[in-house]
Amino acid sequence: MKSSEAQPSPPAGAARDWTIPQRWAEYTPDQHAMWDRLYQRQVAQLPGRVAPVFLEGLELLGMGKAGIPDFDDLSARLHRATGWSVVTVPGLVPDAVFFEHLAQRRFVAGRFIRTPAQLDYLQEPDIFHDVFGHVPLLAHPVFADYMQAYGQGGLRSLEYQAIHKLARLYWYTVEFGLIRAGADLKIYGAGIVSSHGETQYALDDPTPLRLRFDLRRVLRTRYKIDSFQKNYFVIDSFDDLLRQTLDTDFAPLYAELEGLEDIEPNVLLPTDVVSACIRC
């Protein structure tokens, strides 16, 4: 978005930065029970599948306690670990607002939780996706720095009208990233970690491509928002992801990529490095 374009204003009751109070005391017993059901279902299948630092984050942040987390308590613990905090927003916020929060080490989370009818699929992220999926890794110092760098890069991408390209980096790392662990792969992206079905599919199903992370390749690759992914990108480590992001001057890269076609999901290029799927 160009800076000359009007920003949508926050809805009534929200602050100028789009934040609202969590009003934790107003969650009903059914809503807390929904959290517990989702939490237990995921925690049961994550060990051995998720990057160990995710489970360490859950532990460090005291997220094993029953019920929907109270963001005051969660933020206090997270802030001690990495200087991040969690703030509440009414739903999707404009890109510039989202990036500004990340650049200031604030993660935005919705306050609503899905209903039993939406157990396995919902269109907009809920508090379980936002908090269970995203927050544990923010307790990891390197990942915490990566998320801030993404926010800063996002603000700059607005000036180059390159947000649709940079959003692919977020999608294929923060939301749907895989990480190497010896000969095996582990999940770390919040979209996988918070999904019962994709937690298995991402590692066990022979259908999707699992490609070595390559920044240019990722920025060119379109993605699906309404189905399991057709390709995943595998990083070597969070240090490597952070270093590649910080070492890249994105402005000339955006210009260069302007002249290249987008790549559809599930397309294999001769230059791609495919990770063997040892669980398929």
Interface contacts to ligand HBI, rule CB under 6 A: 89, 92-93, 95, 98, 108, 167, 170
Q: Which is nearer to ligand HBI, 169 or 235 (CB)?
A: 169
Q: How many helices, marked H, and strands, marked E, lie in the chain?
A: 12, 6
As a whole number of angstroms, the distance between CA 258 and CA 254 comes to 6
CB-closest chain residue to Fe ion: 190
Q: Specify the residue, 42 or 88, whose C-beta has the smaller distance to ligand HBI.
A: 88
Residues contacting Fe ion: total by CB under 5 A = 1
Which of 134, 140, 157, 198 is labelled catalytic? 134
- Cβ of residue 97: shortest distance to ligand HBI, in angstroms? 7
User: Does residue 231 contact residue 209 with C-beta atoms inside 8 Å?
Assistant: yes
Residue 210 C-beta: closest distance to ligand HBI, Å: 22
Main-chain dihedrals φ then ψ at residue 87, nearest 5 degrees: -120, 155
Residue whose CB is less far from Fe ion, 10 or 110: 110
Per the annotation, the verdict on 175 as an active-site residue is yes
Our answer to whether residue 196 is catalytic in this structure is no
User: Is 134 among the residues known to form the active site?
Assistant: yes
Least distance to Fe ion, CB of residue 278, Å: 27
b/e sequence 25-47, b meaning 16+ C-beta within 10 Å: eebeeebeebbeebbeebeeebe
Nearest to 177 by CA among 47, 54, 276, 61: 54
CA atoms within 13 A on the CB side of 19: 14
Question: Of residues 75, 85, 157, 194, which has the active-site annotation?
Answer: 194
Among the listed residues 100, 157, 175, 198, the single catalytic one is 175
Q: Which of 108/137 has CB closer to ligand HBI?
A: 108
Looking at residues 145 to 204 of the shown chain, list those that interact with Fe ion (rule: CB under 5 A). Answer: 190
Contacts of 266 (CB under 8 A, 6+ apart): 208, 209, 230, 231
- Annotated active-site residue 194? The verdict is yes
Taking CB within 5 to 8 Å according to partner kind, which of ligand HBI, Fe ion, none is near residue 185?
Answer: none
To the nearest whole angstrom, how small is the minimum distance from the Cβ of residue 247 to Fe ion?
Answer: 25
Helix axes 250-258, 141-159, angle to 10 degrees: 60
Q: What is the largest CA-CA distance in the chain?
A: 55
Query: Could you list the active site residues?
Result: 129, 134, 175, 194
Residues that bind Fe ion (CB under 5 A): 190
